């Protein structure tokens, strides 16, 4: 059987392909379409919360998907090798201090987040980057991401604090 075209000529969903893949089971077709609709709505809602400059930062849809994938990652995060190298005993101390400061915040907004992280860096006598890099690794599992304050805001209080707590102890 030949592969279907990548983009059907008559719309975004190739109903003939769907019918073949579900062996003509109309109920299963409806279930697949309902799952697609729910996942699409969730993705569109999440994409709507990205910073306004996100499209300019992502040159292709794949880059945008990769760049935003940390939003959908389940805990515990699968930390890539480069990010894991940043999660040391020293960074664990910094992460614990950041966790404590962030947990104490009354408001979870960009200004409050930035002030708290800058204050932690100053109190630990390190430059912001020395704190931001392991924080980024703990929050996203990678060494690159949108700005760290945007990441914290997008993930929200509960998820951010949980991801930081997951990485405060160095892994063996």
pLDDT digits (tens, 9 = 90+) for 31-50: 888 888 888 888 888 877 87
3-state class percentages of the chain: helix first, strand second, coil last, to nearest 5: 65, 0, 35
Q: 55 or 88, which is more confident?
A: 88
Average pLDDT value for residue range 77-81: 92
Confidence of residue 132 (pLDDT cuts 50, 70, 90): very high
Q: What radius of gyration do the chain's Cα atoms show?
A: 21
Which of 1-5, 75-79, 81-85, 160-164 is least confident? 1-5
Query: Both tokens of residue 61?
Result: 């849809």
* pLDDT band, very low/low/confident/very high, at 59 (cuts 50, 70, 90): low
Provide the mean pLDDT of the chain: 86
Q: What is the pLDDT of residue 32?
A: 85
Q: How far apart are the first and last CA of the chain?
A: 49
Q: Is the pLDDT of residue 127 over 60?
A: yes
CB 22 within 8 A of CB 29: yes
Q: For residue 33, what pLDDT is reported?
A: 85
Residue 104 confidence (pLDDT):
97
The one-character DSSP state at 10 is T
Of the segments 32-36, 75-79, 94-98, 153-157, which one has the largest average pLDDT value?
94-98
**Confidence band, pLDDT 50/70/90 cuts, at residue 2:** low
pTM of this prediction? 0.65
């Amino acid at each position: 059987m030949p592969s279907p075209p990548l983009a059907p000529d008559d719309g975004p969903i190739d109903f003939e392909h769907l019918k073949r893949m579900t062996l003509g089971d109309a109920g299963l077709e409806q279930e697949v379409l309902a799952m697609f609709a729910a996942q699409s709505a969730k993705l569109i809602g999440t994409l709507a919360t990205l910073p306004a400059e996100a499209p300019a930062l992502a040159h292709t849809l794949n880059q945008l998907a990769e760049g935003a994938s940390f939003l959908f990652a389940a805990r515990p995060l699968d930390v890539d090798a480069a990010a894991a190298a940043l999660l040391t005993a020293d960074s664990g101390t910094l992460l614990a201090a950041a966790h404590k400061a962030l947990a104490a915040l009354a408001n979870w907004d960009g200004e409050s987040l930035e002030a708290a992280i800058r204050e932690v860096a100053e109190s630990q006598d390190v430059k912001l980057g020395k704190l931001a890099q392991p924080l980024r690794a703990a929050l996203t599992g990678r060494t690159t991401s949108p700005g760290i304050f945007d990441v914290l805001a997008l993930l929200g209080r509960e998820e951010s604090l949980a991801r930081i707590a997951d990485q405060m102890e160095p892994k063996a």
